[in-house]
Homo-oligomer: A and B are copies of this chain.
Amino acid sequence: MSVRFESIGTIRSPFKEKFGIPRQAGLLPEITSILILDEPFAKSEALVGLQDFSHLWILTLFHAHLDREWKPSVRPPRLGGNESVGVFATRSPYRPNPIGLSAVELKSIEREGKQALLFLAGGDFLDGTPVLDIKPYIAYADALPQARSSFASHAPEASLNVHFEEEALQVCRQHAREDLESMIRGMLALDPRPAYRQGEAEENYAFRLLEFDVKWTVRGKDVWVTRLAPAGGLE
């Protein structure tokens, strides 16, 4: 059976590229994403009662993967990137139907003209992600803390100590809109490097967060934020 779906809205997220996004929802509750619902899905009747749920399921489209083939086998980062697992045993985006599933906290709902804005904490969404559905989190049916989750049996731990070069810290502190410093601290502590590069000697990396290219260097268990440059700016 084949069916066509239309997105009902779009996510605005500080994560501008896949690199650096935590591997599941909920790992960085200090990160706020905004789900912008479009007409006709933004109408108030459709949202009545939503604020009485503390958490929501957001079903998304892995839009960066729409034109890619699915892969029966994937190498989850959690397994060091060198062990293959069936795609259905992972949350990888390389799926036959590239639907993402994230449990997030609903902080507030605001209206802006004809749009409804849902402020969500703990999202693992790439900026611009199309949304297919919003469902309430129903604890008695959805919370199975006793479930056995194989290689993903525990949350990844903050494993790196994060330091800032003075100039990078200044840029963070001049940026008033978000707490850039704690966002970067949270992301880097979780060690976003591909597993096969962990353990290498000094390496330089960068990811795009909000309107910045964040540059960083790892030395052993310490990561140094060396520079925050305007995204896409000249070197």
**Do A96 and B6 form a contact, CB below 8 Å, given A101-B57, A101-B101, A148-B54?**
yes
- In Å, the complex CA distance between A85 and B48 comes to 5
Q: Quick one: closest B residue to A27, CB to CB?
A: B141
- In Å, the complex CA distance between A4 and B53 comes to 30
Chain multiplicity (copies) = 2
User: A61, B147: Cβ atoms under 8 Å?
Assistant: no
- In Å, the complex CA distance between A24 and B57 comes to 15
- In Å, the complex CA distance between A144 and B105 comes to 10
User: A88, B144: Cβ atoms under 8 Å?
Assistant: no
B residues in contact with A44, CB < 8 Å = 86
- In Å, the complex CA distance between A80 and B52 comes to 18
User: A5, B2: Cβ atoms under 8 Å?
Assistant: yes
- In Å, the complex CA distance between A142 and B52 comes to 19
**Do A5 and B6 form a contact, CB below 8 Å, given A48-B85, A50-B86, A95-B133?**
no
User: B143, A137: Cβ atoms under 8 Å?
Assistant: no
User: A41, B138: Cβ atoms under 8 Å?
Assistant: no
Residues of chain A touching chain B, judged by Cβ–Cβ distance below 8 Å, are: 1-8, 24-27, 40-41, 43-50, 52-55, 57, 59, 61, 63, 66, 72-73, 84-91, 95-97, 99, 101, 103, 130, 132-155
